[in-house]
Amino acid sequence: MTELEKMRSGQFYYAEDPMLRESRNRCKRLCREANLLPPEQNAERNQMFRQLFGAAGDNLYIEPSFWCDYGFLITVGDNFYINHNCVILDSAPVTFGDNVFIAPNCGFYTATHPVDALQRREAKEYALPITVGSDVWIGGGVTVLPGVTIGSNCVIGAGSVVVHDIPDNSVAVGNPCKVIKTLDPITTH
């Protein structure tokens, strides 16, 4: 089993594997190139990210600066917007539904490390997926940790640290992030 296969399956993998390192370097080069484009070249920047991601729906818009580790493990739906200074560590799949809006300075981190110091010295890590439903607004400075699912029709308050799943139709805030209000489900017209 390759290190990439181990990484994708949630097993311990060697993060400094040459193939993984080259994939990360390629991704960082593309992110850097896209981030350096002038504001009037937003369409070109967003097209670069569309090519980097595993899949992207219509109306993708990403403000600089944006960084990710691999890119191909990120899937976004229609009407997806990221404001400035977002980081997605996509060592496992990161999936966003439709109509997702992410405020500045947010982070989505799938990668995690062993508690055992000797294993950490060996550059072993593992990753757990992050899933964000549709019609979600994530406030400024939010951190989403490995293995978390945020349901559809949710608002995550600014500065929250999301360490547990958040159910559909919720307003959740804090560190750790907790549901403080239930919203009416979205009805289609």
Q: Which residues are catalytically annotated?
A: 113
Nearest to 63 by CA among 98, 97, 94, 101: 101
> What CA–CA distance (Å, rounded) separates 84 from 86?
6
**What is the SS3 assignment for 150?**
strand
Q: Which of the 8 DSSP states describes residue 166? A: B
Instruction: At 130, list the tokens.
Output: 């992050």
> What CA–CA distance (Å, rounded) separates 24 from 157?
31
Decide the pairing of beta strands 124-127 and 111-112.
Answer: antiparallel
Position 95, amino acid: T
| Dihedral pair phi/psi, residue 112, rounded to 5° | -145, 165
